[in-house]
Structure 1
Amino acid sequence: MEYQWPEDDFDLPYGVLRLDLPEPVSGQTYVMYHGTCRTKARSILALGFRQSEDGMLGRGVYLSRNVEKAHRYPMDHHESDRVVIKVKVNVGKVKAIDYQGHPLQKTWHSHGYDTAWVPPDCGMVKSGLEENCVWDPNRIQIIDTIQPHQVSLLSVCSLL
């Protein structure tokens, strides 16, 4: 069965910037996306985001301004069980972490940063897509959820 993820970046809340900026700018607000499974999505919608215990950038909430990156997660779940949570984030003070072993890779928050940003195609993320880690879940406001739509083989063929 094929799945299709709807385009979702047409309606931006007032004051929110688009993805086409090369990097998140400190103090700005962006639409970002968090990929998860249906069960965890229900929990996040009910209770809000919580920091992960660890990860490539240490503790925080992992997001991307790229919906394509988010809908790949969690990778060990079937696509039909995945949900993308669309959020609005005030990134605060941003630190670029652009190579493995960066001296602030897991300690950026203790140096006064609110968000760590991994640039696209810097070699840290296998997909080559950007990643953000936001320390304080209170900087994140849930806007909506995005779920894949089943596409029949006939529908796919008619698009060709």
Structure 2
Amino acid sequence: MANFFDDFGVPFESQLEHDVRRGRRYIMYHGTTLTAAYHIKNHGFQRSSDGMLGPGVYVSRSIQKARVYPIILPFNEQRAVLKLRVRVGKVKKIDYQGHPLQKTWHQHGYDSAWVPPNCGMVPSGLEEYCVWDPSRIEVLSIIPGCC
């Protein structure tokens, strides 16, 4: 199995295990519209009703992934990326379509679900998280018209 490294050369999977044990936080990103970014900064995230990993807030450690969202940009809007601090808690790795806990991981005691890079679930090949509880996410900044 190939290792995928962060900007400091630390394998994502070993870093993830370290963070879960020690309760550390990740810097992550969420792509949205500039209007929605200000709303989220002022009022917090709301859990989506569904998605590839079920309900939750979808974020990534990859700014490249976040910067292309929303895929369809509404008229008279611009993209923005929220820079976040996220406490991932207990994480379930979901690395193939049809995984038995793909949409039910939270019901089994997990705080977040993680799709690793290049596992075939995300067309871009970039990793993705789904965080159940929005209070685990702190907005650090808004990057308008990012990237």
Give ranges in structure 2 of 5+ residues lacking alignment: 1-6
1:35 aligns with 2:35: no
Q: 1:19–1:66: 8 Å Cα contact kept in structure 2?
A: no
Partner of 1:62: 58
Q: From the CA coordinates, give the structure whose radius of gyration is larger.
A: 1
1:22 aligns with 2:12: yes
Q: C-alpha deviations, 1:98-154, integer Å up to 9, x for none?
A: 00000000000000000100000000000000000000001011111112369xxxx
Give ranges in structure 1 of 5+ residues lacking alignment: 1-9, 11-17, 151-160
Partner of 1:46: 42
How many aligned positions are there? 133
Normalised to the residue count of structure 2, the TM-score between the two structures is 0.84
1:71 aligns with 2:67: yes
Report deviation, 1:42. Answer: 1.7
1:113 aligns with 2:110: yes
1:130 aligns with 2:141: no
Residues 142 and 108 (structure 1), Cα distance of their counterparts in 2 relative to 1, 3 Å cut: same
Report deviation, 1:64. Answer: 0.1
Residues of 2 paired with 1:95 and 1:66: CA distance?
19
Report the residue type matching 1:105 in the other structure.
Q
Partner of 1:157: none
1:86 aligns with 2:76: no
Normalised to the residue count of structure 1, the TM-score between the two structures is 0.77
Q: Cα RMSD between the aligned structures?
A: 2.0
Identity across the alignment (%): 57
